[in-house]
Amino acid sequence: MGEQRAVDAAEPGFADKFRTPDSPSQTALLTAGDSVVLELAKPGVPAKFIAYELPADFVQVLQDDIAAIRAADSEMESDDQEGVASTAAVGRLIKSGMAEVAQLDAIMNNKYARNPEKLRAWESASHIERAPKREKKPAGGTTPPAPPK
């Protein structure tokens, strides 16, 4: 917005009210946007910008853009929370599935105790791959010293 510098030539200090924030973070930009909107709400201020060919509705467009950014940010936070909830649901579903497999395992072992081929087929089908478990290392990453003799 070079308009504020042009107005600043006639009204020193005017451009200081419309400074770009030092930080490019979304929070800093939204705070600066809110500050600009508050300044533009003062009588006569929008007219100074309109005199430099900004559209008459530029304040409303700015407010709409800020609101859209906030809505998108809120939606992203909601999506993140849904992702966390989905991750928790996966854990519960796995636990439930494991319980069902345990029940079916008991049934299949009873039903096919005398039919080793079908029992092997069930054991193969119900086998669950697990990640290898690593040995836990002592704290500090070193082996504890041997006790004195």
Question: pLDDT tens digit string along 120-139?
Answer: 998 888 877 777 778 777 66
Q: Does some domain include residue 72?
A: yes
Q: Does some domain include residue 24?
A: yes
Q: Does some domain include residue 117?
A: no
When pLDDT is averaged across residues 2-25 and rounded to a whole number, the result is 79
Q: Does some domain include residue 8?
A: yes
62 within 8 A of 40, measured Cβ to Cβ: yes
Per the structure, the count of domains in the chain is 1
Residue ranges of E strands in the chain = none
Separation between Cα atoms, residue 28 and residue 69, nearest integer Å: 13
Q: Does some domain include residue 47?
A: yes
Enter the pTM of the model: 0.48
Query: Tokens at residue 53, please?
Result: 């060919």
Query: Tokens at residue 90, please?
Result: 């996966």
Q: Does some domain include residue 143?
A: no
**Domain range for 16:** 3-93
Q: Does some domain include residue 141?
A: no
